[in-house]
Structure 1
Amino acid sequence: MNLNRLITISKKEFSDHITSRRFLLILFIICLVLGVAAANGVTNYYDALDKYKNGNEGYLFTPSILLAFSQITNSIGLYGLGAVIGIALGFDLVSGEREGRSLKTILSQPVYRDEVINGKAIGGIISLTLITLTGFLTVVAVFLIIGIVPSVDEFFLIGVIWLITLLFIISAFSLALMSSVLAKTSSGALILSLIILFTLVYIIPVGGGEFGTSVLLGPEPSENEYGSGSQSQMESFENLQYEYHLKESAIRDLFSMVSIQRVYNEITNPITMPSKYVINRIGFEEFTTNPDIAENVEKPSLWEILGDKWIKIIVFIMWPVLFFGIAYVQFMRADLR
């Protein structure tokens, strides 16, 4: 692989992206959606401040402007904007040129296949970097217009959220690139991308969790078996039920790691909503029965959050590598005649 040719192909792909109407439309949509989400997030931020001042138990720490980013990360992850952007930018990178018969012309030039596929990936990633960076700068501009100036630490955490968001969208882009290599037409690549995404985001996490629970754990312990029993039998039932729910939660959590969408939100939510994250870790029941525990709780640092989520971060990084790896191998072996 020649580095100069790789850079040339990457520049061409990047130029093709930023000069296309699709890129401008995506850029407009993400700026619009993130701008609106930021405005709504600021409203939630002021409401949280009022609740914190009034002693609301749901807020252990002083809310920061990062709370507004929960609306933004929900728009990108939970509501699917990030996946749509990644797929829209990558579903026809190879299949489109194959349909237009320009791919064979490109490969007839003194370039190698790995330079072509790597150049397409790099050009797309640079384009996504520009799109997401513009979207987040729009959010910061909304904050400044409203009169909110984030601190240095908050700017750093905003940068972390941006990097995680970029990786999430790159995962969807890699999925689309893989589908574009596997399918012969652009429409087929788009359909294949949506099918794989739907399977990973919904079918496996939900269906797998239900199936795994029913097969490995069986039915939940019934209260009827202990309803007329002694106190010790009732305590035994409560312990069995508690252990069952713990195992059920572990099984569902295992299957949920397949979903890049859920993992994205589970990594970003502790940064945007640390109070909710700490309460969930302590346990809501424990927190309500012993409210004094909040006095000894410290706000989690970024490194504590990353340390707690390290398995999911590894899985999160694994997906784009896996998708691109399949695309790379298939493109190198494909018959493009």
Structure 2
Amino acid sequence: MDLTRLAIISKKEFTDHILSKRLFWIMIIFCIVLVIETASGVDDYNNALESYKSGGASGEFLIFQPSALRVFSDIVSSIGVDGLGIVIGLALGFDLISGERERGSIKTILSQPLYRDELINGKAIGGIMALNAISIAGFIIIFAVMLILGIVPDIDEILGIGLIWLITLLFMIASFTVSLMTSVITNTSSGSLILALVIVFIMLFIIPTGGGELGTYLLVGNPPEDIPDMASSAQYAAYQEAMDEYNGNSMGIRDFFNTFSIRYVYQQITLPITMPSGYAINKDGLDFDSIKELAQDIEEPTFWTLIEDQWVKLIVFIMWPVIFFGTAYVRFMKSDLR
């Protein structure tokens, strides 16, 4: 593989993306959504501050003082849970190879002194550079709106924003590699898009929901039978113990299958950064009374806490784009382009 040719292809792909009407409309929609979600996040941040100062009397009880990163809770929800980041990744990659096939230009391109790995790698790099440009522009707009609305992040908060940006970029790259893979597998752009949507649907809904339900049924079985209303304290204690064990095993199975959903993993990784109080409460399984009693002893999550608690999800998060691109690479190198 010649690095000079690779750089030329990557630059051309990036330029094609930047100058395309598709990316223009993606940028418009992305920025509009981010402005709306940032304004909503600023309002949520101000309400959280009031709730923290009042000890939960005016809203949710918070262990730690909310930071400016709270603004991003609505933003990451829109990008991850609502699927905006997935749509952007799919839109940039679904016709990279299949589009060349439809136009009949793939044979002409490869008839030049050019290797297949240079072409597929160059297209991937160009698409990732375009996603990088989209995400940077979006986060600059977020930062500008925060400043306009009177929120000035400190150095630690700026580093946190940078971490959220990196995780968001990886999330969109995972979606992009799905569509790149389907564009290699299929012969038409429409077929590529449909296949990409099917794969995303399976990953987001079928495997987490269906796998969790089936796994719970096969490995854990049915929940304990209800006890009669006049049960003794010993019967009630035994029932509660059995129910706690069932719920714990069921949650472990569901969490395993949820790991196959890039949307779920993205949300779980960003939660300690945007909402550390909620993360600490969910992690320790605290109720309202326990929260107030133990609030002083609970440490606020840090970057290293994120690595320690979420390292499996981080590995999976990085693994998905590697698997999808690896599949696309192998398939393209062995495909018949005649």
Structure 1 and Structure 2 fold alike (TM over 0.5): yes
- The answer as to 2:61 corresponding to 1:58 is yes
Distance 2:80 2:216 in 1: 26
Q: Using the TM superposition, give the Cα deviation of residue 230 of structure 1 relative to its aligned residue in structure 2, in angstroms.
A: 2.9
1:134 match: 137
| 2:30 match | 30
Quick check: 1:227–1:234 contact (8 Å CA) kept in 2? Answer: no
1:25 aligned partner, one-letter code: W
8 Å Cα contact 1:75/1:81 also seen in 2: yes
Q: Deviations over 1:211-233 (max 9, x none)?
A: 11111111100123x65443222
**Superposed counterparts of 1:1-337, under 5 Å:** 1-56=1-56, 58-224=61-227, 227-285=229-287, 287-289=288-290, 291-337=292-338
Distance across 2 between alignment mates of 1:289 and 1:326? 49
- Provide the secondary structure at the position in 2 that maps to 1:223: coil
**Cα contact 2:13–2:122 (8 A) shared by 1:** yes
2:14 and 2:2 mapped to 1: Cα distance? 18
Q: Are the equivalent residues in 2 in contact too, given 1:201–1:260 (CA < 8 A)? A: yes
Which string of whole-angstrom CA distances, capped at 9 and with x for unpartnered residues, describes residues 118-169 of structure 1? 0000000000000000000000000111121100000000000000000000
- Residue 133 of structure 2 aligns to a residue whose secondary structure is helix
Alignment size in residue pairs: 335
Name the CA distance, whole Å, in 2 between partners of 1:280 and 1:198: 27
**Compared with structure 1, are the counterparts of its residues 290 and 319 closer, same or farther at alpha carbon in structure 2 (3 Å cutoff)?**
closer
Paired amino acid for 2:324: F
Structure 1 residues 241-266: Cα deviation after superposition (integer angstroms, max 9, x where no partner): 00000000000000000000010000
Instruction: Return the offset for 1:304.
Output: 0.7
Instruction: Kindly provide the CA deviation profile for residues 78-111 of structure 1, in whole angstroms up to 9, marking residues without a partner as x.
Output: 0000000000000000000100000110000000
Unmatched segments (≥5 aa) in structure 1: none
Using the TM superposition, name which of 34-43 and 289-298 deviates more: 289-298
Letter in 2 for 1:85: I
- Measured after TM superposition, the shift of residue 333 of structure 1 is 0.4
> Quick one: distance in 1 between partners of 2:94 and 2:141?
27
Is the CA contact (8 Å cut-off) linking 1:264 and 1:316 kept in structure 2? yes
In the alignment, the residues of structure 1 paired with residue 294 and residue 229 of structure 2 have an alpha-carbon distance, to the nearest angstrom, of 33
The separation in 1 between residues aligned to 2:181 and 2:75, in whole angstroms, is 27
8 Å Cα contact 2:98-2:189 kept in structure 1: yes
Q: In 2, distance between residues paired with 1:200 and 1:78?
A: 13
- Asked whether the 8 Å contact 2:68–2:153 carries over to 1, the reply is yes
Offset, 1:290: 6.0
Secondary structure of 1:243's counterpart equals: helix
Q: Which runs of 4+ in 1 moved over 4 A?
A: none
CA distance in 2, matches of 1:281, 1:189: 40
The TM-score normalised by the length of structure 1 is 0.98
Q: Answer yes or no: is the 8 Å Cα contact 1:104–1:336 preserved in 2.
A: yes
Contact 1:58 1:276 in 2 (8 A): no
Paired with 1:19 and 1:74, the residues of 2 have a C-alpha distance of 29
Q: Secondary structure at the match of 1:46?
A: helix
Amino acid at match of 1:262: Y
Go from structure 1 to structure 2 and tell me whether the alpha carbon gap of 1:76 and 1:276 turns closer, same or farther (over 3 Å shift).
Answer: same
1:180–1:186 CA contact under 8 A, matched in 2: yes
Contact 2:78 2:84 in 1 (8 A): yes
- Cα drift, residue 289 of structure 1: 4.1
The answer (yes or no) to whether the contact 1:90–1:174 under 8 Å persists in 2 is yes
**Distance in structure 2 (CA, Å) of the matches to 1:192 and 1:243:** 40
Give 1:281 shift: 1.6
Identity of aligned residues (%): 54
